[in-house]
Each structure stands twice: as structure tokens, then as C-alpha cells.
Structure 1
């Protein structure tokens, strides 16, 4: 258990978030024990573009138990913008009563149905942000939600002009061979230059041998050291997280 909790209360981060997709989204189970085990006050829910499964039930139950709910609405990169808009109009109301934060997409820099591009992501943001503002006006609007390799994508999509309504930037902070937690100080500094907080909204150590060659395998001490160093060098990092991923040893 120490592996899970040792890094859970850093000096600068204000928010601890956790995500158990299998129990929450797929099964609609109560995740209160999981949240407490990780000292988390925010439950993140990734809504896949092909089905919501039990995600609305999980969001409702988590909110009733006093947890803040952070919803990441993934979409298919191959969809035309009008279809993405229709998807957000149809899906967001299922979560709006419980949403503390909503991100546009989840790792859209990777292949999600189709290949994403910075320009398309920015176009989607411009089209759906008014829906977020109208349907869930109380929810924080989160930009990016990119993979650990997505910092260049994030920068290019953001451009020189701040996207309307952006209130936070999300980046996935796994220990990877090129990006992830090693570049968090740079990503946080970039976000700060835009007067925005950075959220490490998805991260966990690969404690077991992973089938993914891009993931570094970490001991407890190495992972804790990496997180502590990222925290020390990133005063504008405002969220860390724990993503339950049994395949890599993150239970």
C-alpha cells in the first residue's frame, strides 16, 4: 500500500484525483474505498466515444458520496465536427449535474478512431466549449488531456491565442521514454505562461513488467522520487492523480 500512498500528499499540488475505469465506468460500482485509499477528493471518469456504459451511474454515486467528479469526454477523431458537437450535446447532460470539471477529449493526440491533429482539436474545442459553458456552467473547462507524448500537440493546438473558456490544462504524466513526467516542469511552466494551472490528470507507476515498450518500469523509490522532483520543479502543478491500471501493476 505504501507504493500507492507515499507520494499522495506533495508540497504544492492542491488536488488529488483518482480513476478506476473498470469499477466505475464498466460496472457502476461504488468507488469510495478506492478513493479513500488514495486520499483522492476528485474522481475522474473517461467516457469512451462508443458507449457511456455505467459512467452516469458512477458519477451520480460519487457525487452523492461527496467526491468531485471530473469527466473526460472522448470522441472519435474521424468524426466530422458537427457529429462531435451532436455527441457533446447528447452526452454532457448525463453528467452535468455532477460535473466539477469537464475536459474536451481524452488523448486525442493519439489514434482515437482516427488520427488526431492539433488543428482539428482546436476546431473541436472552439465548437463545443459554448456547449460546456451553457450545459455545465459551474464546471471547470479543461483543455488538452493529452497523452504523455502530447506536449508538442498541446502547444500547437493552443497557438498564440488562448482558446476561449480554457480554465485548466491537462497532461498525462506517466514515466515514458520520451515525455510524460520528465517534461512536467516544462509543461507546467508553459501553462503558467498562459496563466493556467497544469493538471497531471492521469498517471501511475509501471510496477510490473509492461507489454508497452514506451513505459519505463519503476520501483517504489524511483517513482516517488520522480513525482517529488516534478513537484519541486513545477510550482504551477495543481493536480496529481492515480490511474488504476492492473496490466502495469497499478492496482
Structure 2
């Protein structure tokens, strides 16, 4: 199998054009703190080295990894043509990072950024801060985002890594909202439960997207018996742990 070059897929100047930057500075990657890597140099590196090499290196630097992945999702959120490349690029990126972590890369040793990096491994549309119509941008991107089937067994490996991480739990609804309601009400809820693992006290009041999504599912989707049981189990668990949004959700059932 031939894997793509990231620069070939996304374009030589994709970061500069999308983010409006002249330079990229990766903290800790340079010997001189006042030295910057120009985008000419960066694009040359990306054009001549495979994606795997960079991600393998970044797997040991959670902050750099989450910034890279977030920048990539911002790029494809605003470019429909680039979104068609997600099924080829993202599974490769996810597998590379997971393999590096299995081989001993110290993502969890990089301070509080590890939870951000783990969450960023599950791709979801992201908007620019200055976007005047963020909802429109998100809705357009969600219509033709990466399908869950493209992740295949990689999703299970990610869930094992993500267990116990509130930010990873919040990543599930952001990804799920790019899928069908059927998937959200079945597999999406199952992913969420697997990440929480019954440890509701660690997630209560730390997951804004989760409670928003659960509200949306209850109000807009017809939940079958098994899905409704899952929904209630998560809501009741969070509410019992003191989650304010979940307590409000329980009132829907009254």
C-alpha cells in the first residue's frame, strides 16, 4: 500500500494559507528559543518526508501532537475537496500515533496536554476563532466528514487509550454529530460508555459536549429500548455524580 505525503494531500502552503501564519514554532523542538521554522522549510520537510515520521515524533510531545491534529481538522473543515482525503489520511495518522504509543512513546508524560492529544485523535470539524458563521461552517463539514467505517479496528484501539479521559468523552459527540442518528444512538452511545467505564465522578461537570449531545439525542431522535437504556444509564450516572447538566436532563424524563 502506498501512503500519501501530507503536503501532497493538503497542498504545499496549506498551513500558511489556512492559519494566516508566517512561521511555525514548536516549543521544545528548537535549540534556540528565539529561532523559528519558516513555512518554506516546513513545507519542504512535509513534501519530502512521510506523515508517519512526523507523527511518530509528535507522539512523544502531546502539545505538539494536539496542535498539529487540530490544525489539520481546521484545514479540512473549510475545504470540501480536502475532506475527501480524510479516509486516506486520518486512519494512517491514527494508526501511526497508536503504534508509536504502543512502542513506548511517552504521551502521558507530557503534562496536562495528553488528554487534549488523545481527544484530538478522533477527528471532528473545528472552526476558526474569527469565523463569523461557525454553525454554518460546522454543518457543511459534517455533511461529508470521515465516516466511522474508515476507522475500523483503530477506533477500538483509540477507545482503550481514551478510557477515563473526559476530553476524549467530549470528542465522541463532536465526531458523532458527523454521522447518522442511527449510528449516534447505537455505536456512539456505546463508545461513550466504554470511555466512561462507570467512573462518572471523574466525568461529572467536565464534559460540556456530552450533555449537550445527550440532550439533542433525546429531543430529536426516537431512541429504541436498548438505546434509551444506555442514554438513561449515562445520564443517571453523571447526575448521581453531581453533573449539573445531567440533572437537568433527568427532568426530561419526568
Task: State TM-score, norm by structure 2.
Answer: 0.35
Higher strand fraction: Structure 1 or Structure 2? Answer: 1
Higher helix fraction: Structure 1 or Structure 2? Answer: 2
Rg: which structure is higher? Answer: 2
